[in-house]
Amino acid sequence: MVKRRVHVAAAAIISSDGDKALIARRPSNVDHGGLWEFPGGKLAPYETGLEGLKRELHEELGVEIKRAQPLIRIHHEYSDKHILLDVWQVHEFSGEPFGREGQAVRWVPLDELVNYPFPAANLPILQAVMLPTEYLITADEEEDEDRFDACLTRALVEDEVRLVQLRAKSLDEAAYLARAERALALCREHGARLLLNGDPSVLEQVDADGIHLTSERLMALDRRPISETKWMAASTHDRKQLAQASRIGCDFVTLSPLRTTPSHPEVAPMGWHDFQQLVELAAMPVFALGGMTRHDANHARAVGAQGIASIRDFWKAPDA
Ligand SMILES: Nc1nc2c([nH]c(=O)n2[C@H]2C[C@H](O)[C@@H](COP(=O)(O)OP(=O)(O)OP(=O)(O)O)O2)c(=O)[nH]1
Ligand SMILES: [Mg+2]
């Protein structure tokens, strides 16, 4: 049997304070009935994703989209069909949403979305909704602890970074743990999440929000090494590593190098075209890495990425 291919546009509508998303309950008599969903529906012939989404949100909720940005595209095999979920983040709309088709509609705090039953294809959408567009990676060569704290604090306060990876391969274990505790305190103070780049067991010593695996660690694993209550990210560079990240259940990944960087001058950059092809295959949010700055975030989103990851663009002393 050739499976039907269905292209669906769906919306993560975010409240103006940025804290909640609007979800709806599917009627009990349709497929995935009774489960919660991001409002939207199937595209009509010749409609683009955004055109279809505008029509669906008008029909289902009575709202008009004013500003929207691509969030994530997910290909998912259901037993009877292949579905492409083309998800947009809606930042501005007019009208007061209500269930025009009689469906229940609810604003839910982002970190409570996981408590609602969604169709199987939706897991990466929940991760994408919870993640910011920028991922700071701390500078490895940083030796002075006061300067480290100052640089991290500046990025948290001035750049409003909310997702941080502590990468410090040159430190010995005791120094790394000490730096991790301080970084965690600073991140907590500013409402940011901290992932530790290292062996997963490091989470037993520092209660950070998750782990970031090197591509080498990623490829050596045969299952998820930490509980679902922590985040797990990984560094990837090609299709094989992306497939492995998906197999062991990474919540998100970085994909690099997009451009040539001073830290890896010998590695050939993939450029936006190849990057886009790889992201389309990925089953989780992907951050573009390698010569990226905040100015690249919109472009990264337009080709399907969650956003950008960078060391250099965020790592500056306060007076620099
Ligand atoms: N809208 C939406 N559909 C989802 C989500 N997750 C998911 O697997 N789906 C699936 C369920 C359906 O098979 C398909 C969407 O179809 P739909 O029933 O919303 O289509 P529609 O609004 O055009 O409704 P209809 O005119 O066909 O009745 O995508 C989601 O978060 N939102
Ligand atoms: Mg629908």
- Tens digit of pLDDT at every position of the chain (320 positions): 788 999 999 999 999 999 999 999 999 888 888 999 999 999 999 999 999 999 999 999 999 999 999 999 999 999 999 999 999 999 999 999 999 999 999 999 999 999 999 999 999 999 999 999 999 999 887 778 999 999 999 999 999 999 999 999 889 999 999 999 999 999 999 999 999 999 999 999 999 999 999 999 999 999 999 999 999 999 999 999 999 999 999 999 999 999 988 777 888 899 999 999 999 999 899 999 999 999 999 999 999 999 999 998 999 988 75
pLDDT of residue 317: 86
The two beta strands, 81-94 and 252-255, are: unpaired
Give the residues across from 74 on adjacent strands: 85
Q: Determine whether 91 is exposed, middle or buried from the number of CB atoms within 10 Å of its CB (0-12, 13-18, 19+).
A: middle
| Contact yes or no for 289/309 (Cβ under 8 A) | yes
Whether residue 83 has its Cβ less than 6 Å from ligand 1: yes
49 Cα–ligand 1 center, Å: 13
Backbone phi, then psi, for 271, in 5-degree steps? 75, 165
* 22: nearest Cα among 92, 104, 108: 108
Atom of ligand 1 nearest to the CA of 121: 8
36 Cα–ligand 1 center, Å: 11
Secondary structure element (H or E) that encloses residue 309, with its range: strand 307-310
State the CB neighbour count (10 A cutoff) for residue 266. Answer: 5
115 marked among binding-site residues: no
Whether residue 7 has its Cβ less than 6 Å from ligand 1: no
Whether residue 41 has its Cβ less than 6 Å from ligand 1: yes
Whether residue 72 has its Cβ less than 6 Å from ligand 1: no
Tokens 């190098």 identify what position?
257
Cα–Cα distance for residue pair 24/122, rounded to 1 Å: 13
pLDDT of residue 60: 97
Q: ipTM, 2 decimals?
A: 0.95
Domains of the chain: 4-117 (3.90.79.10), 134-310 (3.20.20.70)
Neighbours of ion ligand 2 (CB under 5 A): 41
pLDDT of residue 318: 87
**Can you read off the two tokens belonging to residue 54?**
């505008």
Ligand nearest to the CA of residue 35, numbered in listed order:
1
Atom of ligand 1 nearest to the CA of 37: 31
Cα–Cα distance for residue pair 60/93, rounded to 1 Å: 14
Give the residues across from 20 on adjacent strands: 109
Atom of ligand 1 nearest to the CA of 39: 1
Cis preceding linkage at 257, omega within 30: yes
| Contact yes or no for 190/196 (Cβ under 8 A) | no
Backbone phi, then psi, for 285, in 5-degree steps? -60, 140
pLDDT of residue 320: 58
